[in-house]
Amino acid sequence: MLKSYKYRLLPTDEQKNTLAKWFGACRFIFNLGLESKIAAWTSLRKNVTSFDLMKQLTELKKTECKWLSEVPRQSLESSITNLDKAYIRFFNGAGFPKFKKPTGHQSIQFRQYTKIKEGKIFLTKIGGIDFIQHRPLGAGEIRTTSVSKTPSGDYFVSIMIEDGKKIPIKKSISEETAIGLDMGLKNFCSFSDGVTISNPKYLHQQLKKLKKEQRTLERRYQKGLPTNEQSKGWYKQKIIVAKLYQKICNQRRDFLQKVSSAVINKYDTICLETLNISGLAKNKILSKSISEVGWGDFNRMIEYKAKWTGKNILKIGTFFPSSKMCSFCGVVNKHLKLSDRKWTCSACGAVHDRDLNAAKNIKNFGLNPIKKTTK
């Protein structure tokens, strides 16, 4: 199985300058490849393949962009491969690839010659870089090493390991070891056994401070000047805002990792509802809350952890009326509103908590969809 381990990187000033050049080169190749693909399809209805872009890269290194030779070739080729993967995801329903900006998240990949020795990670053409190994690196073969820089100026290294282990066989599905999860905004998650996990709302907690720092950043911006000519005060304030965003992101990711691990460790079968998150986020009133809660990241974590441990993931359809259906008799309450947190079934008289009832229906339908649809 492939597993990734992420660590904080501590490069020297000289290594930071080298990485900055390499980040720019990889970004240049990605953007040039994207521009070539768009132009070829717009004018000639022709598809430019990754092999065509590889040939273009070779020609560039020989002619007008000889400075690209300073960058490891495999890192430049990885940018083309990543662009090709982005196009594949686009045709599978994801968004269209975007041009990379120098002010955003920067990264570069190394596919060979990565070694770890005496608290340093050794990379091609740059040598050993100090890093904080806060947890042991798993045993196995190093496949890919990615170095990244956040907008706040922090550096990280992500090491992908092939540990040689086979994916475990799926555990048997039974009602005793299964759970239904209903995702929400007031409560982050409601379990079919009655447990609820509150939404920590990390963005909401920092919103007042974030608005203040962003106003300061906007006040220091000099209109008419490009970004690279702004004052030092503007750059310092930009880092402050970026670090605040990064703190919120880290808090949310830590929360999601802990909740997803707890669910995977306790249950063998997890029933989830397929959510149209991009469609839900178009709601003008709830868009900020929906974007903050992190449903997509949580589902992704649940899925890959279930794959590692042999647990089962059962998904129900987007349009299944989990909240409106009575979990006792199966009657659908078509008049239920979003504001109705509790409701009484008109057929059997059962009193339902909206989220708990939805979690029970998700579990019942996930375990036995034929019975629920014919009831």
CA distance 296 to 289: 13
Q: How many CB atoms lie within 10 A of CB 375?
A: 11
Residue 342 tokens, joined: 């509790």
Active-site residue, from 77, 213, 268, 355? 355
CA angle 362, 366, 368 (to 5 degrees): 120
What's the distance, Cα to Cα, between the start and end of the chain in Å? 42
- Say whether 182 is catalytic: yes
Closest by CA position to 27, among listed 66, 70, 82 = 82
CA distance 147 to 251: 22
Closest by CA position to 302, among listed 203, 144, 198, 189 = 189
Report the b/e string of 345-355 with b at 16+ CB within 10 A: beeeeeebebb
CA distance to 62, 282, 300, 306, 340, per residue, from 261 (Å) = 50, 30, 12, 9, 31
Active-site residue, from 77, 213, 268, 273? 273
Active-site residue, from 77, 182, 213, 268? 182
Closest by CA position to 341, among listed 330, 327, 352, 333 = 352
- Say whether 268 is catalytic: no
CA distance 169 to 172: 9
Which residues lie below 8 Å from residue 250, measured CB to CB, with a gap of 6+? none
Residues for the chain: how many in total? 375
Sign of CA pseudo-dihedral 69, 75, 81, 86: negative
- Say whether 355 is catalytic: yes
Is there a contact between 244 and 206 (Cβ–Cβ < 8 Å)? yes
Q: Which residues are catalytic?
A: 182, 273, 355
